[in-house]
Structure 1
Amino acid sequence: MSFGRRAFLSSLPVAAASLSLGTSIARADTSIPASDPRLSPRFIGRPDAPIHVDEWFSLTCTHCGHFAETVFPEVKAKLIDTGKVCYRFHDFPLDQLALLGAMVARTLPADRYFAFTDDLLRTQMQWAFGRDVDPIEELKKHASLAGLSASEVDAINADETFRQAIVSRQDKDQSFLEISGTPYFRINNTPADSTIALSFDAFNAALAKAH
């Protein structure tokens, strides 16, 4: 999905009282150390795999959701689980709801991150875009299945320092890598064409071309 990221983060897809970003984020303390486990890499597969794939995604990006639901299962089964690919995930939230989802995901133990984000991406149309649903309450339901209570999610949402840390990292990635849409992929640190997300064959062909 192409975007104007700041415009997305400035919009209020859910109640402002539930997700306060706005001007407060600019004043937030950014003193989270790089050693904070919430900011450590999130990946699946063998670290010594010959091919490293990095994906930047948003939990409310419909293209990311489609990729997670229709293409990634085959990527995981045939390339990651077989030791050919190490796959690393990068949070790139397009709006405040996705930002809170990323904060919740990174608060979980690292070994629960993939299952949680994969679940949210696959069920995106129900919890984030469903008719007559409160997306925050739906997010809390998913978080509870991962081991976090509603009050813990509220505490995560109130952590402006952590929120700013994710946004700051995102800003750096967008500026340095010139990311203009999600999902965005790099193969062995080389940008991949956006068609990589269309099918497993396209994904596998991109790997063969880059490797």
Structure 2
Amino acid sequence: MANKSKTSYKGKSAKKNNLMLILFPIILVVLLGLIFVLNNQNEKIVQDEAANRVVDFKLEGQPVLGSSDAKVTLVEFGDYKCPACKQWEETIFPQLKADYIDKGDAQFVFMNYPFLGPDSNTAAYAGEAIHANHPDAFFAFHEALYAAQQDERVQWATPEYLLEVAKKVVPDLNGDEFLKQIQDDTYKEKVQGDFQAGEAAKVSGTPSVFVNGKEYTGNYLDYKSLKAFIDQELSNAK
């Protein structure tokens, strides 16, 4: 009797284990499906919130490229150490410039959002020094600095290296004054103001682009999508 009872118990236990083996992958698939759905819903909520939010940027004193009469204002938050920003600068921005800025339909504003290391701030200070002392050369320096970008994991944006880049753009630059302004953190408050504006606008990374205060949430390298977003704003402004 004892042996029979033991055998019966083993049979029930085996059936229970088999049932768990069948149910476990089903439960796992259901849970993964729920997580996927919830993530998509959360992403859609974030995108909808961004689409409905209009940020009123204070642009006085910012570097601006394009006509002040343009119907669209493009604001980019960037970090000179950011590889994605470099890619955007070299692939997307030239198309924006040709299609909108050069035609007077848009003006472009760059704002600092340094977050990749201490020398992100150093590079931003250099940009502000050029803008303050040689405003017409700012966007040439902006382009040259992205072209001179090195590995983001290395602190390459030293004052001396930044001076080397700046001298190629502004040959008559007062190098001693340029270095002093960077090393004395002369433009720290200005750069912090840019960063805080980005935080207030819920910037989560770079590059982040706003069109008439509305954040573009599509793929940053999808020019067709960005163009459609800008065209909609141009249409709304008519």
Q: CA deviation at 1:135?
A: 4.1
CA distance in 1, matches of 2:174, 2:164: 9
Would you say the 8 A contact 2:216–2:226 is kept in 1?
no
3-state SS of the aligned residue for 1:154? helix
TM-score, normalised via structure 1 length:
0.71
1:7-58: per-residue Cα shift (whole Å, max 9, x none)? xxxxxxxxxxxxxxxxxxxxxxxxxxxxxxxx81211111111111111111
Residue 214 of structure 2 is aligned to residue 190 of structure 1? yes
3-state SS of the aligned residue for 1:144? helix
Change (3 A) 1:134 1:90: closer
Gapped regions of structure 2 (runs ≥ 5):
1-59
1:128-183: per-residue Cα shift (whole Å, max 9, x none)? 3299995424322101123335433320222235224422x034213321111111
Greater relative contact order, per chain length (Cα 8 Å cut-off, separation 6+): 1
Would you say the 8 A contact 1:184–1:194 is kept in 2?
no
Aligned pairs (5 A) from 1:32-47: 40-47=61-68
Q: Number of aligned residue pairs: give it.
A: 168
Q: CA deviation at 1:192?
A: 1.3
Would you say the 8 A contact 1:140–1:149 is kept in 2?
no
Q: 2:81 corresponds to which residue? A: 60
CA distance in 1, matches of 2:83, 2:211: 22
Would you say the 8 A contact 1:68–1:122 is kept in 2?
no
TM-score, normalised via structure 2 length:
0.63
CA distance in 1, matches of 2:106, 2:214: 15
Q: 2:177 corresponds to which residue? A: 152
Q: Between the two proteins, what is the percent identity of the paired residues?
A: 23
CA distance in 2, matches of 1:189, 1:132: 34
Q: 1:51 corresponds to which residue? A: 72
Would you say the 8 A contact 2:209–2:215 is kept in 1?
yes
Q: 2:135 corresponds to which residue? A: 110
CA distance in 2, matches of 1:81, 1:115: 15
CA distance in 1, matches of 2:99, 2:198: 30
3-state SS of the aligned residue for 2:108? strand
Q: 1:83 corresponds to which residue? A: 104
Residue 230 of structure 2 is aligned to residue 200 of structure 1? no
Q: CA deviation at 1:81?
A: 0.3
Change (3 A) 1:208 1:133: closer
Q: Which of 167, 172, 188 is matched with 2:196 structurally? A: 172
3-state SS of the aligned residue for 2:199? helix
Q: Which amino acid aligns with 2:165?
A: H
Residue 144 of structure 2 is aligned to residue 119 of structure 1? yes
